[in-house]
Amino acid sequence: MLRSCTAALRTLRALRGRREGASPAARDPVLARRWFSTEKVIPKDHALPNPSWSKDLRLLFDQFMKKCEDGSWERLPSYKNSKLVKEQLSQAQLFTRGYEDGLGFEYVIFYNDDEKRTVCLFQGGPYLQGVPGFLHGGAIATMIDAAVGMCAAIPGGIVMTANLNINFKRPIPLCSVVVINSQLDKIEGRKLFLSCTVRSADEKILYSEATGLFIKLDPEKSLI
């Protein structure tokens, strides 16, 4: 926990330096080459270890990567930007990927198609603080929404959250690692019903429980 917070603070200091100093491209030759290059930039997959990941997060990540070897589990890649909105809103980016490494939402989601469930390994960084030393409830809700949402979107296609019910049972220490287990309970027409639990990395503490209703969008209906 201490190490991941230290890594996050290092990123913070680097960011402060960035505000005071020259442009990022001027300081970083790799970034500068990309900036001026006409080559197609391959988007960065954020669901992979980075230096801010704690030992617990890496350990769990390695365990799930092992489970992926027989094909029963699959690691879901995760990108900041969506091609769907690029033309209208060039600055749009996924809320959960909007922070520098280690400061906000560090997570990876694995999916098991046979069991219709996902496991999200999540480390909430120092920018997600609510009560001092603990994660903000809104940050927990966001991560639950994203994890349960992926569990709904894989079988359901384009879905939106219609209802999310959360019981916060214990506060989650900032920078700790939690495991969000989500499962699809039933489908009724366009409605997908899901449930999830948020537990400590050793599974001993139940932090939160939630249920969610996701609706498959009707292509005939406009969203606005």
Judged by the rule CB under 6 A, the positions of this chain that interact with ligand ST9 are 82, 84, 94, 145-146, 149-150, 158, 160-163, 189-191, 213, 215, 217-218, 221, 223
Instruction: Please enumerate, as own/partner, the contacts of 14-17 that have beta carbons within 8 Å and a separation of 24 or more.
Output: 14/100, 15/100
Calculate the alpha carbon distances from 81 to 7, 38, 179 in Å: 24, 19, 25
CA triple 86-90-92, angle to 5 deg: 85
145 is a catalytic site residue: yes
Residue nearest to ligand ST9 (CB): 149
- State the sign of the Cα–Cα–Cα–Cα dihedral 213, 182, 124, 44: negative
Decide whether 38 or 90 has the Cβ nearer to ligand ST9: 90
> Minimum distance between the CB of residue 37 and ligand ST9, rounded to whole angstroms?
27
Decide whether 10 or 190 has the Cβ nearer to ligand ST9: 190
Decide whether 202 or 220 has the Cβ nearer to ligand ST9: 220
Decide whether 7 or 159 has the Cβ nearer to ligand ST9: 159
Q: What is the DSSP letter of 135?
A: B
Decide whether 159 or 179 has the Cβ nearer to ligand ST9: 159
Max Cα–Cα distance, the chain, nearest Å: 56
117-124/105-112 β-pairing: antiparallel
177-188/191-200 β-pairing: antiparallel
Q: Give me the catalytic one of 145, 185, 202, 218.
A: 145
> Minimum distance between the CB of residue 210 and ligand ST9, rounded to whole angstroms?
13
Q: Are 80 and 43 in contact (CB under 8 A)?
A: yes
> Minimum distance between the CB of residue 204 and ligand ST9, rounded to whole angstroms?
28
Q: Are 220 and 212 in contact (CB under 8 A)?
A: no
> Minimum distance between the CB of residue 10 and ligand ST9, rounded to whole angstroms?
28
> Minimum distance between the CB of residue 42 and ligand ST9, rounded to whole angstroms?
18
Provide CB contacts within 8 A for 54, sequence distance 6+: 1, 3, 4, 123, 175, 177
The residues that are catalytic are 145
